Amino acid sequence: MRRISILSLLLVVGCAASNPSASTPVNLDETSVILADPVARGRVLVQARCTACHAVGPAGDSPVAAAPPLRTLGQRYPVANLQEAFAEGISTGHPQMPQFVLEAGQVQDLIAYLESIQIPAAKI
């Protein structure tokens, strides 16, 4: 199971690195760092799945107006509370948001990344 997860991550890294819409491209030389760091793995997931609609970094506007910048999610509710929704298959983020299901480790990585980019309401 661990081998499949690592292979999946490497595939996502390759896709994210070649994705011209990603706001912060992933360098394939960073693969060993990504494998060791949950925040970096979460960033790869976000870049691969969320950049078409959401601003995924610490700055910038979302490409889709109805999709909030991911750095502001913590202003609505604690980001850690999203773990269950992502594990079960979040499908109600915004009307055009596709449903997707993540494995437990991917959910933890996603939450780690989201928590790392949150900004308080006063700084918006």
- The string of pLDDT tens digits covering residues 40-81 is 999 999 999 999 999 999 999 999 988 899 999 999 888 998
* 100 strand-pairing partners: 90
Q: Determine the pLDDT at residue 32.
A: 61
Q: Determine the pLDDT at residue 77.
A: 83
Model confidence at 94: pLDDT above 60: no
Whole-structure pTM value: 0.67
DSSP assignment of the chain: -HHHHHHHHHHHHHHHHT-TT-SSPPPGGGHHHHHH-HHHHHHHHHHHHTTTTS--SSS---SSTTS--GGGGGGTS-GGGGHHHHHH-B--SSTTPPPB---HHHHHHHHHHHHHH---GGG-
Q: Determine the pLDDT at residue 18.
A: 40
Share of the chain above pLDDT 90, in %: 38
